[in-house]
Amino acid sequence: MLKWIRWSGIAGFLVVMALIASFWLFAAGPLVKMTIEYFGSRTAEAEVNVEDVSFAFNPLAIEITGVQVADKDAPMTNLFSFDKAVATIEPLPLLVGKAVIPELVLDGVATGTERSRSGALIEKSTESQQQAKTSQESDDNTEDKAFTYDPTTKDKLPSVDEIVTRENLLTEQRGKALEQAVKDHEMAINQAEDNLPTEDSLKDYEQRLDQILSGRFKSVEDFKQRKRQFEDLKQQFKQDKQAIRNAKQTIETAKSDLKQKWSALKRAPKEDINNIKNKYTLDAQGTANLTALLFGDDMGGYAATALKYYEMARPYLVNEELKATKTEAKAARLEGRFVHFETDRPVPDFWIKQTRFSVKLPEATDKSGQLRSMGNVKVRIQDITHQPDVINKPMTLLATGTDLTTMDALTLKGRFDHRRAVNDGRGEDKLNLTIENWRLYEMKLGLAGLSIEETNTQVSANAVLVGRDLNAQGVMTFSKSAFSSSDRTVLAKEMLAALRTIDQFNLEASAKGEFNDPDLRIASDLDRQLENAFDERIDQKQAEFEQKLKDKLNEKLLSYSGDYQAQLKDLNLAEGRLSDKQEALENLAKAEISSYQDQLKAEAKAKAEKEKAKAKAEADRKKKELEEKAKKALKDLF
């Protein structure tokens, strides 16, 4: 029996297995560590640091410790970090190149922790600075879309100068349009005037016309030459008259356009005042802005943070490779391709069946004014894979609060379904958040130094994302609220007195539209409850505000009127000069040249008339002589 055994083969097999085990124990960890840091850094666009990676055989598992993912926008802060992650691995799928992890457990998960050194990528530093600059410019450009009150100032209402600078005023738009129209029409008129005859040209025409028409034709050739010169001159007259008509039409168009734009500009201040009143007036229609001033910054910050984390996780939820193949050309036949045959128990290339970890909530001020932890959140995520169609199940999320100090309960449920059959392949992500009896203390608001000393809050929110279309709503119910203010302005005192009469109010927020740039809206019945308390003050301050705004807009209007009046005067003068030139050309064009035959006939007629006159004169002379002789004969007779 022993003769059948190839001891050399067994020895080779043992050596190979020993080498594989050695590689697994000593080399695989550092290689995986470098791989995670390399690809993780490029995905996060910031440093990803891993302290250590180790493997175990029974059961087959991988342990990763000391992971820190830097925030690309704040390199000295970790976007995400954890102390240890242990993932068990099914060995059989691994043999065919599939990573199936029954359970992944994370310990020490935290967000926003400080780093000992910057996590910015060296090659990305210049690009990041440029992006930060662009982001800052974008923020500056979008300030006019929503008014944000600075709580460190003492202004009761936004100043007129702030509003004029911030708002996209019709007066400014139409004024700039008028300025541009003046420049454009001035250029068009100058081009048209370049084709007009000058005063010297008109004098030259007159001299040439006199030369052509004066004097007799010496011969037929002389007549033909003058005729050609006369026709050329008339053709020039025709061209010049057309140029004058074109110039007059250009001026008429300019006058009509400028008058129309000037009329629109004169209406703009009134329209601007109405628009600004509707937006900033704290009356029955305008008090909705008060809620945005009080809570807008917080809501915007929460929304931005949530969208930021979702955007990072999205590439791992969607099979981008599958989507890309829909548009790519098929591989050449000789290059080959991978063929996945259907099985009774299909397995995706990467699948984490269950993930469990706990996240520490941020610190918050308690009733005594001290900072303390709000508690922890236990998170369980099931079926993480970029190939949900293979397992035919969506990814689910369940997060529940534990050891909570400032709230009775916190529950976050999520369902991330990116199967191809869902919404024509666009997928559908759903989130639902519920917080019961959230006790808030020393919550600073965004106006007049106001803060909520204490309140009890109920939170209910849900969000649905289909493709890139977001639809989210949330309601916060505040009860047993106590307000205070650090300001001593009239506005602060009156608002504080009004707020102290309110025991409960609701705050509703919604976000709809494209995922990266949703339309965020905030509304509250607090506005309605404060309406009566503010009516008297608003009437007084609104009148002052409108007058200042009207004066400011009129200043802008007058700054544009100078260009318009000067241009209109120049257009009228230019139109008068064109009329004079047109009249001069019309008079010159009335001249006609007679033909050579007409000249000969005229000369013959003149000669005949001259001979006739001469003969008549001779006859008259002879007649007179006869009369004289007759008179003399009669005189001698008597």
Residue 312's Cβ-count burial label (10 Å; 0-12, 13-18, 19+) is middle
More confident residue, 331 or 218: 218
Q: Is pLDDT at 350 greater than 80 in this prediction?
A: yes
Q: What six digits make up the tokens of 156?
A: 């009761």
Tell me, what's the pLDDT at 279? 67
How many other β-carbons are positioned within 10 Å of the β-carbon of residue 564?
A: 20
Q: Is pLDDT at 128 greater than 60 in this prediction?
A: no
Q: Are 401 and 411 in contact (CB under 8 A)?
A: yes
Nearest to 89 by CA among 52, 66, 65, 63: 63
Reported as a pLDDT band with limits 50, 70 and 90, residue 152 is very low
Q: Is the dihedral of CA 217, 222, 225, 228 positive or negative?
A: positive
Tell me, what's the pLDDT at 616? 78
Q: Looking at 287-339, which runs of residues are DSSP E strands? A: none
Reported as a pLDDT band with limits 50, 70 and 90, residue 414 is very high
- 392: alpha, beta or left? (left if phi > 0; alpha if psi -120 to 50): left
Which H helix or E strand runs over 80? strand 74-88
Residue 466, SS3 per DSSP: strand
Beta pairing class for 60-71 and 48-57: antiparallel
Reported as a pLDDT band with limits 50, 70 and 90, residue 423 is confident
Nearest to 406 by CA among 460, 450, 369, 367: 367
Q: Are 434 and 463 in contact (CB under 8 A)?
A: no
| DSSP-derived secondary structure letter, 331 | P
Tell me, what's the pLDDT at 139? 46
Side chain identity at 241, as an amino acid letter?
K
Beta pairing class for 350-360 and 104-107: parallel
Euclidean distance between CA atoms 496 and 486, whole angstroms: 10
Tell me, what's the pLDDT at 285? 41
Reported as a pLDDT band with limits 50, 70 and 90, residue 462 is very high
Tell me, what's the pLDDT at 552? 63
Tell me, what's the pLDDT at 262? 75
The number of residues in the chain equals 638
Q: Is pLDDT at 435 greater than 90 in this prediction?
A: yes
Euclidean distance between CA atoms 289 and 299, whole angstroms: 14
Tell me, what's the pLDDT at 336? 58
Euclidean distance between CA atoms 462 and 473, whole angstroms: 6
Percent of the chain with pLDDT over 70: 59
Tell me the mean pLDDT in the region 377-397.
Answer: 92
Tell me the mean pLDDT in the region 245-265.
Answer: 79
Q: Which residues contact 192 (CB under 8 A, 6 or more apart)?
A: 243, 246, 247, 250
More confident residue, 471 or 80: 471
Place of tokens 């007629």: 605
Euclidean distance between CA atoms 242 and 565, whole angstroms: 28
Tell me, what's the pLDDT at 59? 82
Tell me, what's the pLDDT at 560? 56
Q: Is pLDDT at 458 greater than 90 in this prediction?
A: yes
Tell me the mean pLDDT in the region 321-326.
Answer: 48
Which residues make beta-bridge pairs with 67? 50, 82
Tell me, what's the pLDDT at 402? 92
Place of tokens 């005192």: 493
Q: Looking at 167-237, which runs of residues are DSSP E strands? A: none
Q: What six digits make up the tokens of 581?
A: 């030139």
Euclidean distance between CA atoms 232 and 92, whole angstroms: 101
Tell me, what's the pLDDT at 147? 37
Angle of the 526-589 helix axis to the 220-280 helix axis, nearest 10: 170
pLDDT in tens, 277-309: 676 654 434 444 555 555 545 545 555 555 555
- Terminal C-alpha separation, the chain: 203
Domain ranges of the chain: 14-120
Q: Is pLDDT at 605 greater than 60 in this prediction?
A: yes
Which H helix or E strand runs over 555? helix 526-589
Q: Which residues contact 473 (CB under 8 A, 6 or more apart)?
A: 461, 462, 463, 508, 509, 510
Q: Is pLDDT at 151 greater than 70 in this prediction?
A: no
Reported as a pLDDT band with limits 50, 70 and 90, residue 43 is confident
More confident residue, 142 or 188: 188
Reported as a pLDDT band with limits 50, 70 and 90, residue 156 is very low
More confident residue, 603 or 239: 239
Q: Are 531 and 284 in contact (CB under 8 A)?
A: yes
Percent of the chain with pLDDT over 90: 14
Tell me, what's the pLDDT at 283? 46
Euclidean distance between CA atoms 507 and 527, whole angstroms: 10
